[in-house]
Structure 1
Amino acid sequence: MPDRVDALVPFSPDRPKTRLSDTLDPAERREFAGAMLTDVLAALRAAGFAPRLLTTEATGRDVPETVDDRPLTPAVNAALDAHGPGPGSPLAVVMADLALATPRALARLRGDGEAGTDAGDPADVAIAPGRGGGTNALLVRHPAFRVDYHGASYLDHLRVARRIGASVREVDSRRLATDVDEREDLVEVLLAGDGAARDWLVDAGFRLEAGDGRVSFDRMRD
């Protein structure tokens, strides 16, 4: 495994988190998405990745970026084509809304400390599935593997791997499985986050509220 592994982080600053429109206004969604991206980039760097943004428009951040306004699947596949993943040159794809991601969780995506990886025979594809059947993070070593992010992409990616004869390692991690898309996901950030995304929610007036059932949140406004 190289000392630092390239990691692609797809990000759409022009249309972020539309499913949170009942909770955050457009400017707030942009700010919150930016805070989550800050956390993901910091965690990647600390885990030994070299992140690059795959963005629909230039962000001005202090990180290399590729601007591609196509849908996610063709944009990521074009990046895989350009990178040419292989055993000595893996490429990770990590979503920008993993507000709970930590360096330790992302090190598991790399395979650091995982059983079998020290023997020099890591899996061709490592997959961290999302809770709803999506794919929140990948690490690709097989040159023929390409993504398909439509629908239950986790199952689609398993099928792609089987078709090309690629070995697969699943990364079972709550922190990588939690992508922040829905209102209830904000509770997870308030409960377990410790970075810019949680700080943004707290500064915006969000507070945990424990009732008789599940923990929820309320928002204090000036």
Structure 2
Amino acid sequence: MRAVIPYKKENAKSRLSPVLSQTEREEFVELMLKDVVDSLICAGITAIDVLTTSSEGVPDDLDVKLVVTEPGLNESINAYLQTVDEPTMIIMADLPLVKSSHIKKIISFPEDVVIAPGKGGGTNILFLSQPKEFTVRYHGCSFLSHRDITNELGKSIRVFDSLLASTDIDEPHDIVELLIYGDGLSKEYAEKRFCTKSGKGRVKISANSKLSGFI
């Protein structure tokens, strides 16, 4: 059993630019990657590949194998899947709220394909018992795409419904979830910069230091 993490550091997470500079965003995604790797290892998955277009920016202290690919998320993942002969988990690098308990649960299911949906119809985690038979189709409503692909292959499917697994950190308001539910390196990083503050509606973040006002 192995895991693969698509990863991009250079100018990552542009939608967080209202609250974090480019340098801060690049530091942040590196810490989120470390949190994801730590959860995988704690769950017993130690064969971990990081799929990236550049070896630059991947922390040297991570016990992972770098797989350098050409640009294109779908193309690179599908090419990678043709090289593996064991059950494989595709997990995004921006999921610092995913715990080892989630991963253990996902890989314990008997179904051929397990999908942990992301908000807005995305796919945050995709576990494939027979990866060479599957072709991923990320972007857009990839959850429905992956469900349809599974059905077309005649494979069994399980949807893993979890608030924490569905929360990828893409927008400023996602940092609220990290501050409330997180416990890793990326939460520590966010705590240095933000705090939560309740208003009449949902909880928001405000700056701890150099930023001011509500985000």
What are the Cα deviations for residues 11-37 of structure 1, in whole angstroms up to 9, with x where unaligned? 001131111111111000000111111
Distance (whole Å) between structure 1 residues aligned to residue 189 and residue 82 of structure 2: 36
What are the Cα deviations for residues 123-173 of structure 1, in whole angstroms up to 9, with x where unaligned? 111110001100000111134111000200000001111111111111111
Contact 1:109–1:138 at 8 Å: present in 2 too?
no
Poorly superposed stretches of 4+, deviation over 3 Å: none
Distance (whole Å) between structure 1 residues aligned to residue 4 and residue 11 of structure 2: 19
Q: Hey, what does 2:79 align to over in structure 1?
A: 78
TM-score by length of 2: 0.91
Distance (whole Å) between structure 2 residues aligned to residue 7 and residue 161 of structure 1: 19
Match of 1:14 among 10, 13, 18: 10
- Residues 1:218 and 2:214 aligned together: no
Q: Displacement of 1:185 after TM fit?
A: 0.2
Q: Displacement of 1:106 after TM fit?
A: 1.2
Contact 1:14–1:57 at 8 Å: present in 2 too?
no
Q: Hey, what does 1:152 align to over in structure 2?
A: 141
Give 3-state SS (helix, strand or coil) of 2:119's partner.
coil
Contact 2:9–2:26 at 8 Å: present in 1 too?
yes
TM-score by length of 1: 0.88
Q: Displacement of 1:52 after TM fit?
A: 1.3
What are the Cα deviations for residues 97-144 of structure 1, in whole angstroms up to 9, with x where unaligned? 001010011111112xxxxx4xxxx21111100011000001111341
Contact 2:36–2:93 at 8 Å: present in 1 too?
yes
- Residues 1:128 and 2:109 aligned together: no
Match of 2:33 among 34, 37, 47: 37
Match of 2:106 among 106, 109, 119: 109
Give 3-state SS (helix, strand or coil) of 2:152's partner.
helix
Match of 2:160 among 171, 177, 182: 171
- Could you tell me which amino acid in structure 2 is paired with residue 55 of structure 1? T
Equivalent residue pairs, number = 204
Quote the sequence identity (%): 37
- Residues 1:162 and 2:151 aligned together: yes
Please report the RMSD computed on the Cα atoms of aligned residues, expressed in angstroms.
Answer: 1.2
Match of 2:189 among 194, 197, 200: 200
| Structure 1 unaligned residues grouped into runs of 5+ | 112-116
- Could you tell me which amino acid in structure 2 is paired with residue 83 of structure 1? V
